[in-house]
Structure 1
Amino acid sequence: MDIAHHLAATLKQLRHDRGLSLTQAAAVTGVSKAMLGQIERNESSPTVATLWKIATGLNVPLSYFISAADTPPRPVYDPQQNGMSIAPLFPFDEQLRCDYFAITLAPGAQSDSTPHEAGVTEHVVVIHGVLELQTAGEWRTLHSGEGLRFAGDAPHAYRNAQPEPVLFHSLIHYPPPR
């Protein structure tokens, strides 16, 4: 199953398991009913930012949408974010409640992230290049080998102002289920 079909099937199954109509799912995710329907019918490829909204609203890890447990991880490209790709390095770990991703930002790319679920903590470590990271309204510059832990349940953003791509890893801890 390719990533688009996996995403569509996963969204539809999660919505069904929760007994949510498209209208109700739109209300809890902040993503329009039309967009959710297009994703479920595999007529639209959502941005990473949209997937985060859906995952947060449905209280599931982002990796549920971008990698099937029985397939090797593949990157998800986000053309509307101007050059961002994300690939799960390890599948979601239910016991540790974490996702682990490799993220690449092309030169000039910026990704603004809406707040994740309450209690989410992110750990970012730059592997190659220079990353600008905004947390608590402040931009910080991280170089290769540097990292930062921050509350993912507040607005934050990633930016690459350099002429070379930046690769960073993001470890995301989710709170215990409600």
Structure 2
Amino acid sequence: MNFLHSVPEEDEAVFDPKDGSGAEEDPIGQRVALNLQRLRSKRYLSLDALARICGVSRAMLAQIESGRSVPSIKVLCKIAKGLKVSVAAFLENRAFEGVEVLPAQQSKRLVSADGTFTSRALFPYDMARQSEFYEIRLKALAEEASNGNGPGIQENLVVAQGVLEVSVNEERYLLSTGDSILFYADQPHRYRNPADSEAVAFVVITYPEPLH
């Protein structure tokens, strides 16, 4: 990301050389500006108060927050430390400060037509991501099949309860509690519960490119 540069002075920022508007043409710079304003306002801090907390001058904070300049990584780290957030909180395109609790009742669920298969998302849907985390439940003697996902997508599954038979291109793998499997999900695959009790597993899906 070209907005992160090392500079000789702690309060120095990088100005956009294209024109006098600083980061106005830089979407990352604008994102930093909006997030700084949001985080500061949420804490009811004036620019002067934030300057005292993080050790960055008021003038520099005002320039960053107005989008007229973008901070160096050193300055951004100082501001993040003062606000007690991750540096990544300034780069998000949504209100996320590095920690988010997702109550179980608010999780997105997918249930098969016959009700034997349930998939519950364990991550917020409204943020950029390159991986997804799911809990899946399969009732006794039930199965769920897929013709395959997009190219390069991987699934990493671990059985948390019961047993689960995973078939990839008709090759069968029987997994007991604690066993895991990693495979490319662009191949036809199927989950089958051969037991007379519910099976529970957790699945991490990794995409070759981030989702937005």
- For the superposition of Structure 1 and Structure 2, which TM-score range results when normalised by the shorter chain? 0.5 to 0.7
Separation of aligned partners in 1, 2:147 and 2:162: 24
Q: Give 1:17's aligned residue.
A: none
Percent identity, aligned pairs only, is: 27
Q: Give 1:120's aligned residue.
A: 153
User: Which of these residues, 109, 112, 116, is aligned with residue 78 of structure 1?
Assistant: 112
Separation of aligned partners in 2, 1:141 and 1:91: 31
Q: Superposed, which structure 2 residues align to 1:1-178 within 5 Å? A: 72-80=106-114, 83-92=116-125, 94-95=128-129, 97-176=130-209
RMSD, aligned CA: 2.3
Equivalent residue of 1:115, what SS?
Answer: coil
Letter in 1 for 2:128: E
TM-score, length of structure 1 as denominator length: 0.55
TM superposition shift of 1:176: 1.1
TM superposition shift of 1:177: 5.7
- Say if 1:101 and 1:163 are closer, same or farther in 2 by CA, change over 3 A: same
Q: Which consecutive residues of structure 2, in runs of 5 or more, have no partner in the other structure? A: 1-101
Letter in 2 for 1:79: A
TM superposition shift of 1:143: 0.6
> Radius of gyration: which is bigger?
2
TM-score, length of structure 2 as denominator length: 0.47
Deviations 1:149-176, CA, capped at 9 Å, x for gaps: 0000110000001000000001000111
TM superposition shift of 1:88: 0.6
Separation of aligned partners in 2, 1:144 and 1:94: 32
Q: Matched residue pairs, number?
A: 108
Separation of aligned partners in 2, 1:160 and 1:79: 17
Letter in 1 for 2:176: H
